[in-house]
Amino acid sequence: MPPADRVLVVACGALAKELRHLTASLERNGRGRGIDLECLPAKLHNRPEMIPEAVRARVRAARSRYRTILVGYGDCGTGGRLDKVCEEEGVERLPGPHCYEFYTGADAFARLQDQELGTLYLTDYLVRHFDRLILEGLGLVDHPELQEVYFKNYTRLVHLSQRPDPELERLARRAADRLGLRFETVETGYGVLFDALVEIRERAA
């Protein structure tokens, strides 16, 4: 049983690596003690209608063990249903509509959207798992004809890069070529995630 003053973050699996890195960094600096992390499968992004009840189930399962539970998701395509679950369960989630905005910040993401509406965004996680989550997850391996249906209105792929990595850039370029999209990289670092975790811990202390 964790101590009652620990905070649980129920998060999207697509943020797992970055959140673990940041919570460890906070703890090393004496600012992150008491943050635990539980992640739901990243593949839920392909079925956003399933995210709210999956979050609810995990929150309820942990309620007796934690005084404070936070939700590490944006709206993520749930159309406000995740916010309704958070309100009903008395928990907060990270601000913003999706994880892309966590990394870029709201203003920078709005500028990217204004530049070119038909943009597909990939984080480091999505680059690493592009074949499994995009090609296989959307059925493009067995039905390549669906690519035109899914991506006909897209013109570029932007890799939101959390850290410089030549191999990830190579994989991101390969993904853009696979989908026939122009490629760009935007260095974001960890964006607002670090500040959000600090605020979470200090508010719960």
The full 3-state SS of 109-145, as one line of letters, equals HHHHHHHCCCEEEEEHHHHHCHHHHHHHCCCCCCCCC
Range of the structural domain that residue 89 is part of: 7-99+190-204
Judge if 87 and 120 occupy the same domain. Answer: no
Residue 151 forms part of a structural domain: yes
Taking residues 105-114, what's their average pLDDT?
90
Residue 120 forms part of a structural domain: yes
Residue 1 forms part of a structural domain: no
Domain count, the chain: 2
In the chain, DSSP finds a helix count (H) and a strand count (E) of 10, 7
Residue 135 forms part of a structural domain: yes
The pTM for the full model equals 0.79
Residue 2 forms part of a structural domain: no
Contact at 8 Å (CB) between 78 and 46? no
C-alpha neighbours within 13 Å on the C-beta side of residue 150:
16
pLDDT at 86: 95
Distances (CA, A) of 101 to 58, 111, 192: 24, 11, 8
Query: pLDDT over 90 for what percent of the chain?
Result: 50
